[in-house]
A and B are shown apart, each in its own frame.
Chain A
Amino acid sequence: NAGVTQTPKFQVLKTGQSMTLQCAQDMNHEYMSWYRQDPGMGLRLIHYSVGAGITDQGEVPNGYNVSRSTTEDFPLRLLSAAPSQTSVYFCASGRSNTGELFFGEGSRLTVL
């Protein structure tokens, strides 16, 4: 019963470093997405995908890249980390025709 698995759970980066947040789901969901959660801001959509090979931008895509080579995996890449990207990141998946999402446990990223 893995559901949505995110790694790592915690990460500290220096400004300018790059890294990838991993996300995998075992529910055969077409839809996957990345959100960031910041105090007083709620959850904001970064990127999403409605199937393998298809990705699109959300509300706050700048500074992040994604790809979807398989149904199961949806990694989020930070090419040059900035302090403004300090946040908690959540990956979520779901069936495209329901709007109901299943969330991972989150990845807390600190950029110094």
Chain B
Amino acid sequence: GNSVTQMEGPVTLSEEAFLTINCTYTATGYPSLFWYVQYPGEGLQLLLKATKADDKGSNKGFEATYRKETTSFHLEKGSVQVSDSAVYFCALSDSLDSGGGADGLTFGKGTHLIIQP
């Protein structure tokens, strides 16, 4: 079955530091990959996505590249801000390969990121 593994944290960084959150996956098909972000007291919201190998997703200064050879989708940001403090979830969906009919995303356990001023 599908699975996603990510570092759980908490990860504590100083403002303007470089961020990497590792994510690796196991999937039987050709999944799409996602990063979701959850701010305190809120639901998850999509941060970025990539639908095929070597695609790079980017949004709000965050980037992640779909690496099929290493089955990875690591999240990076060059200079983090206090407002980036949140929980970050890596996820995959193989619904596109099955011809539609999303039967749910498979999520990692989430990485709690704390940015100190």
Contact = CB atoms under 8 A, between A and B. Distances in A.
Contacts of B34: 99-100
Given A43-B89, A106-B43, A96 B101 contact: yes
A88 B46 CA distance: 19
Contacts of A99: 32, 34, 49, 93, 95-96, 102, 105
Contacts of B69: none
Interface string A83-109: 000000010101111111111111000
User: Main SS of the interface on chain A?
Assistant: strand
B63 to A, nearest CB: 18
Contacts of A35: 107
Given A40-B8, A50-B103, A105-B43, 16 more contacts: A43-B110, A45-B105, A48-B103, A50-B102, A59-B104, A90-B44, A92-B43, A94-B102, A97-B102, A99-B32, A99-B93, A99-B95, A99-B102, A100-B49, A105-B42, A106-B42
